[in-house]
């Protein structure tokens, strides 16, 4: 986080306008290397490397709550558990409280109540011990457009008091290589596409080895190619053992890259767990393809299939509890010509709709 937030005047101004005094304070502190060192010497708790191995979650919150000064309850009693080594998707419509949660996790704003632990340490109290182990990309990377991609990274690295200047060039080259920007490293950042800027931001977060990467809507605003590049990168990073926590309002994105997910709506946690289990929780739909849809619909209803919908030659419905072989046999016995008989796997979207009774695209 330190690297990403260090020294970007345009962004700081923009944030200032948004009127977040707590955050500005936190950022000011993060920009003072001497003070950071002093605090470290003052004996902040050391991170126990054994913790993750012992199975302690990388992120754990209990009843975490944030009410903004204007009275808006943005996060409401959140109990979040992010297992070590997971690619964790933090999913929710716009305004559901994802960014507010991430800000609390990163020690940028204080919770109103409840607790948050990151890498086994309490936040925001242990911010200075924790953040060096966390790479973060929040609200797009802070870049100097007039500097090359490489020089932007050199600036970031120079702002990190723990980074050895003698190995800076090698570190920057490795980070550029990691995100596939070696060939474009000499170009000015303002000439980069949005996807390249995101990748440069990721490179900045990856200058040091990290135990946790926190990415807030990393593919937001990217074209499909840019999205693919970021997703591929996330998968690669995760395969190296880094825990990745990424927020998104895109269900299929979470299904494509994440092992685990939490779903937020209106500041509340709707569900969390392994992605496969979340979708399994919602039942898929039975799909019968037939040239006799009306007769098929009648038989399916008789067989206990719920919410039967006919669309051309497809009849779909909620599978009943009984053996589907019997349902199929009943169709055939009734003279329905069956071309296809399948149960479509439930998607995370089905799970969301089943849990909230709403479509996913509702504003929070
Ligand atoms: N600084 C603030 N002051 C007051 N209210 C805020 C502030 N920041 C966010 N909110 C409100 O808190 C709620 C949650 O916002 P948050 O940005 O955390 O949601 P989000 O899920 O990240 O949405 P998005 O994807 O749009 O950023 C929203 O109703 C939002 O308007």
Give the length of the chain.
Answer: 364
Q: Could you tell me the pLDDT band of residue 37, with boundaries at 50, 70 and 90? A: very low
Confidence of residue 31 (pLDDT cuts 50, 70, 90): very low
Could you please report the per-residue DSSP string of 154-203?
HHHHHT-TTS-GGGHHHHHHHHHHHTT-STTTTSBGGGS-HHHHHHHHHH
Provide the token pair at 131: 């953040």
| Probe residue for ligand 1, chosen from 68, 214, 246, 253 as the CB with the greatest number of ligand atoms within 8 Å | 68
Mark whether 197 and 295 lie in a shared domain. Answer: no
Domain co-membership, 214 together with 240? yes
Ligand 1 pocket list (CB less than 6 A): 20, 68, 70, 72, 74, 92, 94-100, 249
Question: Which of the two residues, 25 and 274, has the higher pLDDT score?
Answer: 274
Q: Are residues 65 and 130 in the same domain?
A: yes
The stretch 317-339 carries a mean pLDDT of 92
- CA-nearest of 67, 68, 76 to 21 is 68
Rounded to whole angstroms, the Cα distance separating 108 from 245 reads 17
102 and 216 share one domain = yes
Cβ atoms of 139 and 198 closer than 8 Å: no
ipTM here:
0.95
**Greater model confidence, 7 or 251:** 251
pLDDT of residue 362: 42
Q: 135 and 185 in one domain?
A: yes
Q: Which of 23, 65, 72, 269 to mutate to test the pocket of ligand 1 (most atoms within 8 A of CB)?
A: 72
Residue 218: predicted pLDDT:
86
Domain region containing 350: 282-356
* Structure confidence at residue 94 as a pLDDT band (50, 70, 90): confident
Q: Which of 240, 265, 280 is the last residue of a domain?
A: 280
Same domain as 31, residue 139: yes
Determine, yes or no, domain membership for 13: yes
Q: Could you tell me if 128 and 255 lie in one domain?
A: yes
My answer on whether 156 and 295 are in the same domain is no
Domain count for the chain, please give it. 2
Going by C-beta distance under 8 Å and a sequence separation of 6 or more, which residues neighbour residue 310? 293, 294, 297
Rounded distance from Cα 115 to ligand 1 centre (Å)? 19
Whether the CB-CB separation of 58 and 48 falls below 8 Å is answered with no
Task: List C-alpha distances in Å: 341 to 272, 297, 329.
Answer: 31, 13, 11
* 288 DSSP β-pair partners: 315, 341
Residue 352 inside a domain? The answer is yes
CATH for 102: 3.40.50.300
Q: What is the mean pLDDT of the chain?
A: 81
Q: Which of these three, 261, 280, 299, is where a domain ends?
A: 280
Which CATH number characterizes residue 329's domain?
3.30.70.100
Q: What is the pLDDT of residues 199-238, one digit of tens each?
A: 899 899 889 989 999 998 888 878 888 888 888 888 888 8
Same domain, 61 and 102: yes
Domain boundary pick from 262, 280, 298: 280
Whether 78 has a pLDDT exceeding 90, the answer reads: yes
- Are residue 168 and residue 201 in the same domain, yes or no? yes
> Which pLDDT score is estimated for 47?
54
List the single range of 126-140, 234-248, 250-264, 279-293 with lowest mean pLDDT. Answer: 279-293
Same domain, 264 and 297: no
Q: 292 and 252, same structural domain?
A: no
Q: Is the pLDDT of residue 36 over 50?
A: no
């Amino acid at each position: 986080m330190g690297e990403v937030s260090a020294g970007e005047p345009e962004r700081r101004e923009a944030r200032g306008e948004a009127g977040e005094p707590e955050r500005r304070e936190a950022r000011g502190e993060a920009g003072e290397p001497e003070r950071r060192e002093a605090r470290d010497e003052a004996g902040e708790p050391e991170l126990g490397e054994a913790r993750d191995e012992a199975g302690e979650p990388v992120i754990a919150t209990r009843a975490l709550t944030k009410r903004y000064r204007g009275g808006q309850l943005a996060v409401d009693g959140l109990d979040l558990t992010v297992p070590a080594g997971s690619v964790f998707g933090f999913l929710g419509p716009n305004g559901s409280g994802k960014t507010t949660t991430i800000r609390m996790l990163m020690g940028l704003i204080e919770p109103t109540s409840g607790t948050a632990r990151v890498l086994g340490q309490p936040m925001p109290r242990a911010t200075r011990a924790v953040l060096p182990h966390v790479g973060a990309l929040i609200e797009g990377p802070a870049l100097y457009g007039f500097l090359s991609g490489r020089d932007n990274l050199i600036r970031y690295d120079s702002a990190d008091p723990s980074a050895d200047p003698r190995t800076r060039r090698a570190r920057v080259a490795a980070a550029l290589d990691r995100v596939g920007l070696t060939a474009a490293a000499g170009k000015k950042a303002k000439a980069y596409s949005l996807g390249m800027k995101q990748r440069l931001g990721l490179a900045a977060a990856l200058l040091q080895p990290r135990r946790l990467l926190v990415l807030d809507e990393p593919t937001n605003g990217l074209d499909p190619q840019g999205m693919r590049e970021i997703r591929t990168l996330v998968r690669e990073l995760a395969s190296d053992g880094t825990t990745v926590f990424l927020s998104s309002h895109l269900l299929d994105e979470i299904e494509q890259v994440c092992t685990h997910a939490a779903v937020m709506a209106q500041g509340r946690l709707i569900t969390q767990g392994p992605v496969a289990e979340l979708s399994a929780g919602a039942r898929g739909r039975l799909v019968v393809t037939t040239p006799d849809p009306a007769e098929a619909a009648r038989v399916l209803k008789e067989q206990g299939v719920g919410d039967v919908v006919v669309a051309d030659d497809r009849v779909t419905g909620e599978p009943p509890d009984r053996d589907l072989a019997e349902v199929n046999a009943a169709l055939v016995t009734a003279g329905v010509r069956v071309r296809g008989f399948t149960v479509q796997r439930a998607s995370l979207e089905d799970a969301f709709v089943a849990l909230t009774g709403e479509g996913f695209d509702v504003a929070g």
